[in-house]
Chain A
């Protein structure tokens, strides 16, 4: 089995898992899905410079073949950004859950009896009008 097949399968499986999880209704699977997608992308970016085994990325005197160093730098940047964003979205999801009592991504209440009433919004624009947001179409999962 070639290494290309293995890497491609890994990217495919991780992307599929990521997309499936991102489409879930609750924040925790969505965060996991985003993490999976970023892993898939990191491996994919790495492979975009072609897969080479046992070759150095930088100049050496006796070296004739190299691996592409640029994707490695890109992956490094992508990892840092994805890591920071995952941290942000975790904090945001947690804060939303604590403030509104629901961890549904579309912001709908879980079940009427289990949900504490959301605290009064400290709106800048004055009180909310009667029906500020049209109910989302993905309701009721």
Chain B
């Protein structure tokens, strides 16, 4: 057993209290430590991904209490992928927050950020349902603080809604855990999968109810229709870097749907196999539609970005909801793409809004602002990525999904919705870009900047994110090989259970 597996959880868990206790008033040290932590997390995630890519599923029994009695952390290809995505995004967001001075706008930004990473990494690694709840709570509590960071009335109002919605979600999570524990007598997901397969027919109703409730909670995090209503307001009200970081929070929901369903309601579950699937696909399609119609109707850039997150979650979950190895591999290609593209869009919107003074990020023509040329280039590239046009990775992402769902039941619905919503979002982004940049060139007047413009380094962060998307495209071959293996691993009946609980 290697101890590296626990490091992505341990590192932020140790750093956060250190920063909180000793570096409260030392901004510079906090910044160095934070960025250093993000870099080490990235290195760790890369190391774990290299270990996971051999195809073995590693487990780490906390306190050496063996599963199913103790809590285990489990590392397979999917977890490793999520860790890498989280670490990359965290690094970009942290640099952006530091160069724009967001961390100076209130207390405890850096510790909260580390707690957020602790919750995220833990949620991706844990193999225990109640432990997942605890990591969800860590992640959410930190996100409440980060969401409200910087203050302001509008942010507080949206914050109350965000907190209340998520508290109700946590309550439902506990109900689902209670139901599943009552019916199966275990909380270890792999063990639960085995128990579900052996469950007497009389318990099936209870198990399905618990499972669907669990999926509902994950769908709330993933902003799946009709539980997406909280997302736009939250993301619009918070600061841009935090909205960019929260792009990974919705993916936690998608990850949990995938993990929970394949482990507990997998092929081996007999009559209960894929019980949540029939409900997920229509919801995902509706999410796609609602999201991209929202994009079309948005009147400012932040709304545009928030609704594009909703829409891309619909696309992602529609591919997951098919539950085949191929479609899952395609979805997992689209997942990092949509995370980084959404983050880049939020960060570009922030820079544009800073330059436009009183016009902010409203999609109306303003006089020409300084730096418009560079920002229009960045916006154009980001829009290409979000919409899913070649050459950036949105295009192969959507193409892979379309190719993988061709033979699946409901596959043509997914085709129709993905192609249709791509046209809608193309229209919306073209309109937004022309309002912001082309029509602005024809508007006379002068802009009085109210907020300091973001430094050049901020634009470099966005360039870096776009660079990641380029790598995702150029290295498409090796990446899809890894992801296909991930899909196979997830759908291999009994593989996860065998690795966690030992053979027999």
Determine which of A22, A85, A125 lies in contact with B360 in the assembled complex, contact meaning CB atoms within 8 Å. A125
| CB–CB A131/B177 < 8 A | no
* Known contacts A70-B181, A74-B130, A132-B236; A92/B153 CB under 8 A: no
| CB–CB B178/A93 < 8 A | no
Q: Identify the closest chain A residue to B302 (Cβ).
A: A125
| CB–CB B361/A100 < 8 A | no
| CB–CB B358/A127 < 8 A | yes
Q: Identify the closest chain A residue to B241 (Cβ).
A: A124
Determine which of B134, B158, B175 lies in contact with A44 in the assembled complex, contact meaning CB atoms within 8 Å. B175
Determine which of A47, A49, A78, A95 lies in contact with B174 in the assembled complex, contact meaning CB atoms within 8 Å. A78
| CB–CB A124/B360 < 8 A | no
Interface centre among A93, A102, A127 (most CB of B within 10 A): A127
* Known contacts A48-B179, A126-B353, A126-B450; A34/B161 CB under 8 A: no
A95 and B356 alpha carbons, distance in the complex (Å) = 31
* Residues in B whose Cβ lies below 8 Å from that of A89: 160, 163-164, 167
A100 and B134 alpha carbons, distance in the complex (Å) = 32
Q: Verify if B168 is at the interface (C-beta below 8 Å from A).
A: yes
* Known contacts A27-B160, A34-B164, A85-B170; A128/B451 CB under 8 A: no
Q: Verify if A118 is at the interface (C-beta below 8 Å from B).
A: yes
SS class, residues of chain B in contact with chain A: helix
A88 and B159 alpha carbons, distance in the complex (Å) = 11
Determine which of B156, B302, B361 lies in contact with A96 in the assembled complex, contact meaning CB atoms within 8 Å. B156
A85 and B102 alpha carbons, distance in the complex (Å) = 25
Min distance, Cβ A117 to any Cβ of chain B, angstroms: 10
| CB–CB A128/B360 < 8 A | yes
Min distance, Cβ B403 to any Cβ of chain A, angstroms: 37
Q: Verify if B378 is at the interface (C-beta below 8 Å from A).
A: no
A64 and B154 alpha carbons, distance in the complex (Å) = 60
| CB–CB A126/B354 < 8 A | yes
A41 and B170 alpha carbons, distance in the complex (Å) = 10
Q: Identify the closest chain B residue to A107 (Cβ).
A: B157
A71 and B144 alpha carbons, distance in the complex (Å) = 28
* Residues in B whose Cβ lies below 8 Å from that of A119: 153
* Known contacts A77-B130, A100-B156, A126-B451; A107/B141 CB under 8 A: no
| CB–CB A34/B181 < 8 A | no
| CB–CB A121/B153 < 8 A | yes
| CB–CB B175/A127 < 8 A | no
Q: Identify the closest chain B residue to A19 (Cβ).
A: B168
A93 and B159 alpha carbons, distance in the complex (Å) = 9
Determine which of A74, A85, A121, A126 lies in contact with B154 in the assembled complex, contact meaning CB atoms within 8 Å. A121
* Residues in A whose Cβ lies below 8 Å from that of B476: none
Interface residues contributed by chain B, number (CB under 8 Å)? 55
* Residues in B whose Cβ lies below 8 Å from that of A38: 171
| CB–CB A125/B354 < 8 A | yes
A133 and B450 alpha carbons, distance in the complex (Å) = 21
| CB–CB A41/B130 < 8 A | no
A57 and B130 alpha carbons, distance in the complex (Å) = 19
Min distance, Cβ A103 to any Cβ of chain B, angstroms: 9
Q: Verify if B239 is at the interface (C-beta below 8 Å from A).
A: yes
* Residues in B whose Cβ lies below 8 Å from that of A44: 174-175, 178
* Residues in A whose Cβ lies below 8 Å from that of B137: 81, 85
| CB–CB A132/B154 < 8 A | yes
Interface pairs A-B: 10 shortest CB-CB: A107-B157, A129-B362, A48-B182, A121-B152, A48-B178, A96-B156, A100-B153, A129-B360, A118-B153, A126-B451
Query: 29 interchain pairs (CB within 8 A)?
Result: A34-B167, A34-B168, A38-B171, A41-B175, A44-B174, A48-B179, A49-B182, A71-B178, A74-B130, A78-B174, A85-B163, A85-B167, A92-B163, A95-B156, A96-B153, A96-B157, A96-B160, A105-B160, A105-B161, A107-B160, A122-B152, A123-B152, A125-B239, A126-B356, A126-B358, A127-B357, A129-B360, A132-B154, A132-B300
Given contacts A37-B171, A124-B102, A132-B236, 7 further A-B contacts (CB under 8 A): A34-B168, A89-B160, A92-B160, A95-B156, A105-B161, A125-B361, A129-B299
Which B residues are closer than 8 A to A by beta carbons?
100, 102, 105, 130, 134, 137, 141, 144, 148, 150-161, 163-164, 167-168, 170-171, 174-175, 177-179, 181-182, 187, 233, 236-237, 239-240, 299-300, 302, 350, 353-354, 356-362, 450-451
